[in-house]
Amino acid sequence: MELLLQQILSGLATGTIYACMALAVVMIYQAIGHLNFAQGEMATFSTFVAWQLLAWGVPYWAAFVLTIALSFVAGVLIERVVFRPLHGAPALSHIVVFIALLAIFNNGAGFIWDFTIKSFPSPFGQTTMFGSMLNAHQAGMIVCTLVMLVLLYLFFSRTRLGLAMRAAAANPESARLVGIRVGWMIALGWGLASAIGAVAGMLIAPIIFLEPNMMLGVLLYGFAGAVLGGLTSPVGAVVGGLVVGVVENLAGTYVPVVGSELKLTIALSLIILVLIFKPSGLFGRAVAKRV
């Protein structure tokens, strides 16, 4: 029983990271209708930036906030420079560019900071808590993501800019007709996605160590979470990410064949199963429509 609870809790902790990646993917998917394969490498690059800042002696939380800000700006710039000219281009063109970005960020990080594994500090430490159910860093991950999700929720539900972004994603033509600069809303979406990815990267790095391929597996779990929750639903993405985290952990512990070797297979199987049986995902768009 205690093992089960512990596995669920630590599953939730990694699940928050998958939830972040799923949310980042969904945010860009909502804006441009394509899955950003480079989301993971962008997050890794952000984490390297944070590592560099820390190495220069910047205090942890200052580096944390600065990295988020820099990642936001970089996300906006990537959209303005790379994706704006691609607007309306076919899916394949987008995929090629996503792969190019993936390669650029991956190799760029390796070139600047080399490919050896680096340790990344945790601001929370590793002391265990709740009767050794969870360590302090896992608890910190959960709290940090929760705070971020609440802030995002408030931004999208309470501010006019958030409303404008939702409108631009839901119906770009009508959004232009009320005067919303849809192009900039898409760029802001990229900025937010990139910033969310940076948070995920900085929180997971103390656990899985920092190297250029760090987010590869994480992004796959993120995709699984996004597909499970529904690519059209930010809430679904978060729930999906958490579920994937828990399922991954439980399967690794209780299904003997899976162990830690086959964990990634679970994510991929989940994607396929959801796409076969419920392509819109658990929280996929359910719009009431009257004819």
Count Cβ atoms within 10 A of the Cβ of residue 130 and give its class: 0-12 exposed, 13-18 middle, 19 or more buried: exposed
Q: Does 167 bind another protein (CB under 8 A)?
A: yes
Pick the closer one to another protein by CB: 165 or 224.
165
For residue 183, the minimal CB distance to another protein (Å) is 9
Pick the closer one to another protein by CB: 76 or 270.
76
Q: Retrieve residue 251's tokens.
A: 């399967």
Q: Does 84 bind another protein (CB under 8 A)?
A: no
- Binding segment (CB under 8 A) for another protein, from list 18-26, 81-89, 141-149, 162-170: 162-170
Count Cβ atoms within 10 A of the Cβ of residue 231 and give its class: 0-12 exposed, 13-18 middle, 19 or more buried: buried
For residue 236, the minimal CB distance to another protein (Å) is 14
Written as one letter, the residue type at 118 is: K
Bridge-partner residues for 135, per DSSP?
128
One residue of 179, 256, 257, 260 binding another protein per CB under 8 A:
179
Pick the closer one to another protein by CB: 118 or 176.
176
Q: Does 199 bind another protein (CB under 8 A)?
A: no
Closest CA to 206 of 35, 85, 54: 54
Cβ partners under 8 Å of residue 219, min gap 6: 21, 25, 37, 39, 40, 43
Q: Which residue matches tokens 């990634």?
A: 264
Pick the closer one to another protein by CB: 107 or 159.
159
17 touches 206 (CB < 8 A):
no
Pick the closer one to another protein by CB: 60 or 184.
184
- Binding segment (CB under 8 A) for another protein, from list 57-65, 67-75, 129-137, 164-172: 164-172
**Is 129 strand, coil or helix?**
strand
> Could you give phi then psi for residue 287, rounded to 5 degrees?
-95, 125
Q: Does 54 bind another protein (CB under 8 A)?
A: no
For residue 290, the minimal CB distance to another protein (Å) is 6
Q: Retrieve residue 135's tokens.
A: 């360590």
Q: Does 174 bind another protein (CB under 8 A)?
A: yes
Q: Does 290 bind another protein (CB under 8 A)?
A: yes
Q: Does 289 bind another protein (CB under 8 A)?
A: yes
For residue 245, the minimal CB distance to another protein (Å) is 28
Q: Does 158 bind another protein (CB under 8 A)?
A: no
What is d(CA 4, CA 57) in angstroms, rounded to the nearest whole number?
40
Output the CA torsion sign for 165, 71, 211, 95.
Answer: positive
One residue of 13, 164, 227, 244 binding another protein per CB under 8 A:
164
Chain positions contacting another protein, by CB under 8 A: 160, 163-164, 166-167, 170-171, 173-182, 285, 287-290
